[in-house]
């Protein structure tokens, strides 16, 4: 294909545009629902406010409070002095790999992840809202309480094997993140009154947020992300337009060249026919004329049947079966009739 490279580049660029467009829609919608989400104080009036809503739910609301465990808080498994309500432990493997160009680059791979969670609420003095399914939050601000990297001890064999295989292990990294007791968070999600308990949970209107940022800060983050995505879309769209223009220009040149070549072929064919017509005898019997056009002399023999029945012009149009015996045509050859 003449446009293979341009077509591949255009396809990749269109995929990137699709991804960016999807991100743009996500950022725009999230910013809109955040702007529309009402913010409430966690106080004695909050239950009555929620109770007056349909199904005793506020589809998307903002609250702020202090993280308070509903029971004995979790103790960090790696830093015993740290306690909280949510714990995430991850184990990453660091390795370097050799690319096609021969350069070594570092990568890390998640080997293991474990998470522990206990019931907790956001509290303001004597009033609180229980947080449900915190691990599903789109933004979950936790503290890194442990980060340890242990380099691998490689033998000579390991170095040689890594050199030839193109993969070398660098080490293992263990991290622990904890949502500490007493952290002050902003929670955004569905606010529901269940019996006498207020709960904040994931909402159908938008993602669940548990963050130290304020509502206005979150909105600004998504607005900035939306603006950056627009720039990506403009850049990728420009690349697509350039590629389409290049493909169109090449296609136009190809079609123009094909038309010019066709004109030359037609002119040469016309001149050839005129020369042949001038060189042909003008007094021929009916038996000597082509069985198709009955104008030109018989000039071509059809094989394997051996019939000499076509002029050169008609022989170019007939290639399947002999017009005399209907036998298959395997080949053609010039015939000279004395």
83-98 and 167-180 strand pairing? antiparallel
Q: Which of 94-98, 102-106, 190-194, 238-242 has the lowest mean pLDDT?
A: 102-106
> Exposure pattern of 44-75 as b/e (b: 16+ CB <10 Å)?
eebbebbeeeeeebbbbbbbbbbbbbeeebbe
* Mean pLDDT taken over the chain: 88
Cα–Cα distance measured from residue 50 to residue 57, given in angstroms and rounded to the nearest whole number:
6
Rounded alpha-carbon distances, angstroms, from residue 109 to 112, 149, 215, 227, 270: 9, 14, 34, 31, 71
Q: Return the SS3 of 334.
A: strand
Are the C-beta atoms of 300 and 319 separated by less than 8 Å? no
For residue 108, what pLDDT band results from cuts at 50, 70 and 90?
confident
Nearest to 105 by CA among 113, 118, 96, 114: 96
Q: In this model, does residue 72 exceed pLDDT 80?
A: yes
For residue 297, what pLDDT band results from cuts at 50, 70 and 90?
confident
pLDDT computed for residue 68 by the predictor: 94
> DSSP secondary structure string, 246-314?
HHHHHHHHHHHHHHHHHHHHHHHHHHHHHHHHHHS-S---GGGB-TTTSSSBP-EEEETT--EEE-HHH
For residue 211, what pLDDT band results from cuts at 50, 70 and 90?
very high
Q: In this model, does residue 2 exceed pLDDT 80?
A: no
Query: CB-hemisphere CA count at 13 Å for 264?
Result: 6
Those residues whose C-beta lies under 8 Å from the C-beta of residue 66, and which sit 6 or more positions away, are: 122, 123, 124, 182, 183, 184, 185
Q: In this model, does residue 281 exceed pLDDT 70?
A: no
pLDDT computed for residue 112 by the predictor: 93
pTM of the predicted protein model: 0.70
Segment 164-168 shows an average pLDDT of: 76
pLDDT in tens, 311-334: 888 888 888 899 989 999 888 888
pLDDT computed for residue 156 by the predictor: 77
Q: Which of 3.40.50.1820, 3.30.40.10, 3.40.50.720, 3.40.50.880 is the CATH number of 286-334?
A: 3.30.40.10
Segment 144-166 shows an average pLDDT of: 81
Are the C-beta atoms of 39 and 215 separated by less than 8 Å? yes
Domain ranges of the chain: 38-204, 286-334
């Amino acid at each position: 294909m003449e446009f293979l490279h341009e077509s591949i580049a255009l396809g990749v660029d269109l995929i990137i545009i699709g991804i960016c467009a999807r991100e743009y829609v996500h950022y725009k919608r999230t910013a809109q629902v955040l702007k529309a989400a009402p913010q409430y104080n966690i106080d004695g009036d909050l239950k009555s406010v929620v109770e007056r809503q349909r199904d005793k739910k506020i589809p998307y609301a903002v609250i702020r409070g202090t993280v308070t465990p509903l029971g004995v808080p979790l103790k960090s498994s790696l830093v015993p002095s740290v306690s909280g309500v949510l714990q995430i432990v991850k184990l990453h493997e660091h390795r370097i790999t050799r690319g096609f160009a021969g350069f070594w680059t570092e990568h890390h791979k998640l080997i293991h992840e474990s998470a522990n969670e206990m019931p907790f609420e956001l509290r303001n003095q004597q009033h609180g809202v229980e947080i449900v399914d915190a691990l599903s939050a789109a933004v979950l601000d936790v503290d890194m309480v442990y980060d340890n990297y242990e380099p691998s001890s490689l033998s000579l064999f390991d170095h040689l094997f890594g050199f030839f295989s193109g993969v070398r292990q660098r080490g293992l990294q263990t991290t622990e993140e904890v949502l500490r007791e007493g952290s002050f968070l902003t929670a955004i999600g569905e606010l529901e009154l269940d019996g006498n308990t207020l709960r904040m949970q994931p909402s159908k209107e938008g993602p669940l947020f548990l963050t130290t940022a304020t509502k206005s800060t979150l909105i600004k983050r998504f607005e900035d992300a939306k603006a950056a995505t627009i720039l990506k879309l403009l850049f990728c769209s420009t690349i697509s337009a350039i590629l389409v223009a290049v493909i169109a220009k090449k296609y136009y040149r190809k079609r123009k060249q094909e038309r010019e070549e066709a004109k030359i072929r037609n002119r040469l064919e016309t001149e050839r026919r005129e020369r042949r017509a001038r060189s042909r005898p003008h007094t021929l019997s009916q038996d000597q004329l082509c069985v198709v056009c009955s104008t030109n002399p018989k000039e071509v023999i059809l094989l394997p049947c051996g019939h000499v029945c076509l002029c050169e012009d008609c022989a170019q149009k007939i290639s399947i079966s002999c017009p005399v015996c209907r036998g298959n045509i395997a080949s053609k050859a010039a015939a000279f009739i004395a």
